[in-house]
Amino acid sequence: MTTPEYQSEHEAVAAYALGVLDDAEATAFEAHLAGCDLCAAELDQLGGMEPLLATLKEFPGPADRPLRPAPPSMSERLIDEVAVLRAKRRRRTTYLVAAAAALIIGGPAIAVVATSDGGTTQAAPAETHPTSPAEDAFFNHMTQKVAATDATTGVSATVGTEKKGWGTHTVLQLKNVKGPLKCSLIAIGKDGEQETVTTWAVPKWGYGIENSPHKEAEYPLYVHGGTAMNRDQIDHFEVRTLDGKALVDVPA
């Protein structure tokens, strides 16, 4: 990774899921993710933990707390990583330790917030399906969206794009896809150049499946990444499996 705060690229999964990596760090991690099954699986496990991660982002641990070289559990690893982030991004408002601990072990999704005047307020319960950073960007920051459905595979995709100084920030919404699969979003330039925007894994129950018996499968997948191409240089996007099977093409 480009930051010295992580001892290896494998330790940046939680920070990436939080969306707190800068553009260069996120791009470097996504390049690593494309060839790392371990990180891809862990990122998929964190897909429903955004409220927990958001809470941990403000976790009131010691500012100078060092990272463990080999954390024995995911919860301890998340706390360690967030302690480093907190050292860089301190906030005036913090969550009580008891509330954070309850979230870590899967307790009631209620957060008690300590206010600057010493009082406390009780936050609303977490939603059944929390909003991920990618989903938030898709609905609130993408200035252009184009959708398409493949007549053969039945897979539906909407690609949202946002102009950046470094290229194009991209969020994919994917529906009606079943796994297990490993997939990628490819940006195809008008000159034929191809760039991998992001990669992900699809569990066997899939994403965006109507009337699925698996509750999480009813929700679309939202995944984001970036390409160095400017938006006007992109001809279309392709969603394909890592072994080359085309799932759906989306015009730019």
Percent residues over pLDDT 70 in the chain: 60
- Residue 125, judged by CB atoms within 10 A of its CB (0-12, 13-18, 19+), counts as exposed
Both tokens assigned to 215 = 């509750």
Interval 23-78: pLDDT, tens = 778 788 788 877 787 777 777 766 655 555 555 555 554 444 444 444 455 555 55
Express each pLDDT in 181-219 by its tens digit. Answer: 999 999 999 999 999 999 999 999 999 999 999 988 999
Average pLDDT, the chain: 75
For the stretch 174-191, pLDDT in tens is 999 999 999 999 999 999
In angstroms, what CA-CA distances link 57 with 16, 17, 78, 129, 231? Answer: 12, 11, 9, 19, 32
pLDDT at 84: 55
Regarding pTM above 0.85, the answer is no
CA distance linking residue 246 with residue 230, whole number of Å: 24
* pLDDT at site 217: 93
**Cis peptide leading into residue 180 (ω within 30°):** yes
